[in-house]
Structure 1
Amino acid sequence: MTSGVEEPGATLPAPPPQAVSMFGDTLPVAIRYAELLADDGVRRGLIGPREVHRLWERHLINCAVVEELIPAGAEVMDVGSGAGLPGLVLGLLRPDIHVTLLEPLLRRTVFLEEAVESLGLSNVTVRRARAEEVHGELYADFVTARAVAPLTRLAGWSLPLLRKGGSLLALKGEQAEAELAEAEKDVSKMRPSVCDVIRVGRGKVDPATTVVRVTVTSDGGPPSHGGSQKKRRGGKNKRGRKR
């Protein structure tokens, strides 16, 4: 139970029933990650202290429900991963997928590497780089992003990372439809694509998570996982430049 104190050291609430249902067997790992966010995440400035009391509903469950859109065995790249939202959440929830956490800032990648090791996530890789620095090197079936940039800029970074048929899944707020309407023409010029706004997690999180989905319809990367596997493994934890 939370103490209601919104400052460093605020008490992390117990996982609500939705989290128990959502994470299932992976709940102990999710709790450990929540503890890391509430402690190191706050001390290192990755999340605000006022977020501790709402970590489960506003952050962890909000991100976890995106897994509804990701099929088994997919490769996911989380652009501007920050504290690991949503990429690390998806990786701990879905051991069947591989997730690359792409983040340019050193203090954030250090936290992510420590979290991945502490949580024992063999299916999650951390890469210190900007998205544009790995264009032509890394490819994925899905690119995820949460509170990273306006859609047009985010698409410019993300669409070159996607294989044909892959999707950018951008977690957005209440203005998602308006943002998409303004950006859709520019996005389609970057790479032929189909865009829509979907809401996932109804009945699991309130409000449901709003996602702008941009699915590319043209060739861009290798047609199968095999084409990028060697490069992906070779780039594990590679140091890039600061943003």
Structure 2
Amino acid sequence: MTQDFPRTAVTRAVVDGIDRLALPSAPPVDGLVDYLALLSRWNRAFNLSAVRDPLEMVPRHLLDSLATLPYVEGSRLLDVGSGAGLPGIPLALCRPELQVTLLDTNGKKTRFLRQAALELDLQQVTVVQDRIERWSTDCVFDTVIARAFARLDQLVQGAGRLVAPGGLILAMKGRFDGDSETAAMPPGWGYDVETLEVPGVDAARCVVRIRRQEATSGETDG
């Protein structure tokens, strides 16, 4: 895609990282590398990511996104604050049957997302430019995922209405302080935390799985 994109080295890094993630099925390496090449090219002009080096993008963006793949449930996924398409585009590439909606407020980022979906032939991807709390839609999703949402309470307040019955919210985080981050979470939601081991990333990473709590018999009986 670009003459200065180190495709061979990036491909090698992607293959090595995927092997170390030990995912249940083999991701499409060529498509993932094509995505990084496209992101690298657009990034020079539109500043989509603070990470400039394509080789650094492999662990910090791509493998970090793919580490959540085992936790994605159902067939409909919403990526809130998708930015440069992370984690939504890598997940869509790995799960062609997954209907993916990428939501972001930034016009230049949503333009990139539409172009990426076109060039990567991701016909199951829909791009929406809006804020999560303002977006008016009849859609509900089996999995709502967010990589860049700072506060869990705001994520649940904004996205909870879009979670299908039995669905969940996945919040990608660094270090997680349970009490301080969940104290203001709306009632009726519970969570658990899974540590993510991302090859090439030394910083702590985890995914917080948030679900509606089942009503107890006492609550349902009044």
Fold match (TM-score > 0.5): yes
What whole-Å deviation, never above 9, does each CA across 1:59-102 have from its counterpart, x for those lacking one?
1011012110123x521000111100011111111112111001
Residues 218 and 139 (structure 1), Cα distance of their counterparts in 2 relative to 1, 3 Å cut: farther
Is the 8 Å Cα contact of residues 136 and 160 (structure 1) preserved in structure 2? no
Structure 2 distance, partners of 1:45, 1:203, is 24
Residues 136 and 183 (structure 1), Cα distance of their counterparts in 2 relative to 1, 3 Å cut: farther
Q: Which amino acid aligns with 1:102?
A: L
What whole-Å deviation, never above 9, does each CA across 1:106-154 have from its counterpart, x for those lacking one?
1111000000000001111111111112255331111111123322222
1:213 corresponds, among 205, 209, 213, to 209
Identity percentage over the alignment? 29
1:186 corresponds, among 181, 184, 187, to 184
Is the 8 Å Cα contact of residues 51 and 57 (structure 2) preserved in structure 1? no
Q: TM-score, normalised by structure 2?
A: 0.81
Residues 52 and 25 (structure 1), Cα distance of their counterparts in 2 relative to 1, 3 Å cut: closer
Is the 8 Å Cα contact of residues 65 and 209 (structure 1) preserved in structure 2? no
1:41 corresponds, among 35, 40, 43, to 43
Matches for 1:93-242 after TM superposition, within 5 Å: 93-135=94-136, 137-174=138-175, 176=176, 178=177, 180-189=178-187, 192-200=188-196, 202=197, 206-207=201-202, 209-217=205-213
Q: Which amino acid aligns with 1:155?
A: V
**Following TM superposition, by how much is the alpha carbon of 1:43 offset from its aligned partner in structure 2, in angstroms?**
2.1
Matched, 1:18 2:14: no
Residues 159 and 135 (structure 1), Cα distance of their counterparts in 2 relative to 1, 3 Å cut: farther
Structure 1 distance, partners of 2:18, 2:201, is 12
Residues 168 and 203 (structure 1), Cα distance of their counterparts in 2 relative to 1, 3 Å cut: closer
Is the 8 Å Cα contact of residues 10 and 54 (structure 2) preserved in structure 1? no
Matched positions, count:
204
Matched, 1:79 2:77: no
**Correspondence for 1:237:** none
**Following TM superposition, by how much is the alpha carbon of 1:185 offset from its aligned partner in structure 2, in angstroms?**
3.5
Task: Give the alignment's Cα RMSD to 1 decimal.
Answer: 2.5
Give runs of ≥4 in structure 1 deviating > 6 Å: none
Structure 2 distance, partners of 1:162, 1:203, is 27
Q: TM-score, normalised by structure 1?
A: 0.75
**Correspondence for 1:229:** none
Residues 162 and 205 (structure 1), Cα distance of their counterparts in 2 relative to 1, 3 Å cut: farther
Residue segments in structure 1 that go unaligned for 5+ positions in a row: 1-8, 220-243
Q: Which amino acid aligns with 1:64?
A: L
Secondary structure of the residue aligned to 2:26 is helix
Residues 159 and 36 (structure 1), Cα distance of their counterparts in 2 relative to 1, 3 Å cut: same
